[in-house]
Amino acid sequence: MSSTNQPPLPLPLDTGRLNLHNINQGVVNAQYAVRGALAIRAEELREQLKANPGSLPFDKVINCNIGNPQQLDQKPLTFIRQVLALAQYPDLLNNKDALKAFSQTAISRAKYLLDQVNSVGAYSVSQGVPAIRKSVANFIERRDGHPADINDIFLTAGASLGITDILTVICAHPKTGIMIPVPQYPLYSATLSVLDASPVPYYLDESSAWGTSPDEIAQRYAVAEQMGIVPRALVVVNPGNPTGSVLSKEDMYAIIRFAATKGLVLMADEVYQSNIYTDSVRFVSFKKALRDLQSEVSGEEAEELAGLQLVSFHSVSKGMLGECGQRGGYFEMIGIDPAVRQQIYKLVSVRLCPVVTGQFVVDCMVNPPQPGDDAYDQYIAEYEGIKNELRDRALALHAAFEKMEGVTCAPPEGAMYLFPTITLPQKAIQQAEKQGVAPDALYCMELLNSTGICVVPGSGFGQRPGTFHFRTTFLAPGVEYAKSIADFHKAFMAKYK
């Protein structure tokens, strides 16, 4: 943040050793519940079970708090891992016996990618390997039916870092406003706290399956302006996290029009674009929606749309890959001033480059085996297998929630999460107040302590005052934990009746 235009600040500062009061207060004030008290408690319980099996009312801790599929035994896609093994140890490419363990598709891809970088141990150019950005551009063109340019694409070490970089560039002032959905994945609010900018929350509409209402966005924008905040960007997460809802094309059009009119940077978090579980919805990228809309309008409206600034994010951590630990992702920028793009390049170059193997995973994601490739059948079988399991579990968990007293839950559309509302008894709310925690945090902590199931309270994402939720992934194998949650819920309701 620049101090330009700022009057001199009160001095002296506290010069003692670092403590909670003299360090960056933006860090101190940041909230990040996904890996907060519940996650730490879950680790303690796991250690306790290891040291002293049988000492708890459950025999394992189930992490439903993080979208971390491979921690929960989801198998990685074989094609990707073969490419990475060969990339890490290219001597295998000269070893006939060893090569029998690899598909020809993986061998060719590994050779091709190694040719681009010399070694995965070398820094690449900071924006990412050009050939991989070309793969990404081709993928976007196939997905959207509209052209994409490799110069608009930056590879990243996961979507989170890309989002942080873009926010860092936009946030110029404590009054810079960034519109974020509520509930939201807390990366956004935590990063804005660190950057000392102003979040401008807009509520998603639970009554319409967590829909994004353009009217609500316009209203909150106006309120922020009245408060002296200057909104500069609008974050939309589609499919939603934690809600799992998928935007309709009409709503996307309205959102695009609004962002264009107001000169907002539209930040489209589309990391769950492959995680769609029902035929009744379809993922459309904001890039495609923009280009489609542009083809429908003319005159002043077309001019306004031509000026839209759009940054969309994707990741290898989600989808059917679930390669979280590999840290790969990308963003595509449309309509950003080239001088600003240079600044973004400089910022990412200070961190040298995104992990090169993560860039390779991006290549495999956007350019998977094709019919005729020897890796194709296995790839499709593995991919569809994971997708079907996710859908089945989502439906089973949803059915269990629907049967629980005082619980309602939108049907699963996309992403990796369900976000049920829970009606909590007054006594539970009082108990939480006594403990100084949010009522749904109390609920989630008791759930964890009774069943070993770790979820994230709705208060960690934001929610309308007086409503309570929790977010659970549907990644854990089996569906029996749905019953454990139901049993706990019954006992909890009885306890605080």
- Out of 336, 396, 429, 437, point to the residue binding a second copy (CB under 8 A): 336
53 binds a second copy (CB under 8 A): no
Residues 6+ positions from 59 with CB-CB distance below 8 Å: 49, 53, 452
Q: Is 8 exposed, middle or buried (0-12, 13-18, 19+ CB in 10 A)?
A: exposed
Token pair 């709503």 in the structure block, residue: 251
Residue 162 is encoded by which pair of tokens? 């890309």
Residue 266 is encoded by which pair of tokens? 């539209």
- Out of 84, 132, 155, 252, point to the residue binding a second copy (CB under 8 A): 84
Compute the distance between CA of residue 93 and CA of residue 429 in angstroms, rounded to an integer: 62
Q: Give the DSSP H or E segment for 330.
A: strand 329-334
Whether 197 and 177 have beta carbons less than 8 Å apart is answered as yes
**How far apart are CB 269 and a second copy at their closest, in Å?**
15
Compute the distance between CA of residue 47 and CA of residue 122 in angstroms, rounded to an integer: 38
51 binds a second copy (CB under 8 A): no
Residues 249-288, one symbol each (x = binds a second copy by CB under 8 A, - = not), give: --------------x-x-----------------------
119 binds a second copy (CB under 8 A): yes
Identify which of residues 31 and 467 has a Cβ nearer to a second copy in the complex. 31
- Out of 91, 115, 279, 300, point to the residue binding a second copy (CB under 8 A): 91
- Out of 164, 184, 241, 275, point to the residue binding a second copy (CB under 8 A): 164
Q: Which stretch binds a second copy (CB under 8 A): 24-32, 201-209, 273-281, 385-393?
A: 24-32
List the interface residues with a second copy, window 184-223 (CB under 8 A): 186-187, 190-191, 194-196
Identify which of residues 89 and 112 has a Cβ nearer to a second copy in the complex. 89
**How far apart are CB 92 and a second copy at their closest, in Å?**
6
Amino acid type, 337: D
With DSSP H G I counted as helix, E B as strand and the rest as coil, what are the percentages for the chain, rounded to 5? 50, 15, 40
Residue count at the site for a second copy (CB under 8 A)?
119
Whether 179 and 268 have beta carbons less than 8 Å apart is answered as no
Sheet holding 417-418, edge to edge: 417-418, 470-473, 456-457
Compute the distance between CA of residue 231 and CA of residue 264 in angstroms, rounded to an integer: 7
Residue 24 is encoded by which pair of tokens? 């960056």
Residue 350 has, within 13 A of its CA and on its CB side, a CA count of 6
- Out of 53, 125, 142, 303, point to the residue binding a second copy (CB under 8 A): 125
- Out of 327, 469, 471, 489, point to the residue binding a second copy (CB under 8 A): 327
104 binds a second copy (CB under 8 A): no
- Out of 45, 128, 155, 158, point to the residue binding a second copy (CB under 8 A): 158
Compute the distance between CA of residue 445 and CA of residue 493 in angstroms, rounded to an integer: 14
- Out of 15, 55, 280, 298, point to the residue binding a second copy (CB under 8 A): 15
346 binds a second copy (CB under 8 A): yes
Q: Which stretch binds a second copy (CB under 8 A): 136-144, 160-168, 241-249, 378-386?
A: 160-168
List the interface residues with a second copy, window 384-423 (CB under 8 A): none
